[in-house]
Amino acid sequence: MSRSYFHLHLVSDSTGETLINVGRAAAAQYEGVSAIEHVYPLVRSSAQLERVISEIEAAPGLVLYTLVGHDLTERLEAACRETGSPCLSVLQPVHALLQSYLGAETTARPGAQHMLNAEYFKRIDAMNFTLAHDDGNLPFDIDESDVILVGVSRTSKTPTAIYLANRGLKTANFPLVPGMPVPPSLENARKPLIVGLLASPERIVQIRQNRLLSLKADDTSLYVDRDAVADEIAACRKLCNRHRWPTIDVTRRSIEETAASILDLHREHRLKFIVA
């Protein structure tokens, strides 16, 4: 199938993260179609908007926006009509629903979701903790973790931990290495949710081979031997079963999907302490 392309303009008075996620999630549903993204964050003045409009005029396409300023919104919509570029306010339907339900007017505050509040500093604290407890660094404060990820090498423990940290969870990770014992502090931990990350031997071998290739290293070791990798994964599964730690197969999962499953497990894990 030949692939077709279209221009997708994402105009935001904040970071643009909301638009990027919405645009990509929607575009992913169309096979054989790819979006050429034009992202314009922090558009908060007429001068900034005019520069955006000039780029839309040069490459007409679909325009998604999150602008809370009425004047900027009107100007952008008028320009889109002139260029024949369909446009949509991504948040407007949600605002309308909230206003109808709450019976309250909105207050125009660009980037309000990124205020330096307690939730923001909680995420920063979680990120600092996660970076300090990466790749087996499990010191005396292991029980301060919200989540601990265990798994063999190349099961995406570190990127998953960082993603969870950005959601406010203090996440440590520990690599399971053949011949290296699991520290008692990990096996005896009760407060954190401990999750084992698994993958098929074929997938692990493929990733490890690419890793060695990038390092120009020898690829004849047990590190990329299919049977040896299968034994590593079996040992990880056995460890998790012995401690009744939940496991997630990440073979065909994105980091976001794995993290979503862990967040769900963490909610259930927290309920045990609330009930107790």
Residues placed in the known binding site for ADP: 151-158
Q: How many Å apart are CA 206 and CA 148, to the nearest integer? A: 25
Q: How many Å apart are CA 203 and CA 198, to the nearest integer? A: 10
Select from 149, 153, 150, 136 the least CA-distant residue to 206.
153
Burial track 241-263 (b if 16+ CB lie within 10 A, e otherwise): eeeebebbbbeebeeeebbeebb
**Contact in structure between 196 and 245 (CB atoms under 8 Å):** yes
Angle of helix 157-166 relative to helix 255-275, nearest 10 degrees? 60
Select from 188, 198, 197 the least CA-distant residue to 243.
188
How many CB atoms neighbour CB 153 within 10 A?
A: 17
Select from 56, 52, 22, 26 the least CA-distant residue to 40.
52
**Contact in structure between 62 and 8 (CB atoms under 8 Å):** yes
**Contact in structure between 215 and 167 (CB atoms under 8 Å):** no
Q: Which residues are annotated as a binding site?
A: 151-158
Q: How many Å apart are CA 139 and CA 125, to the nearest integer? A: 17
Select from 116, 94, 88, 89 the least CA-distant residue to 106.
94
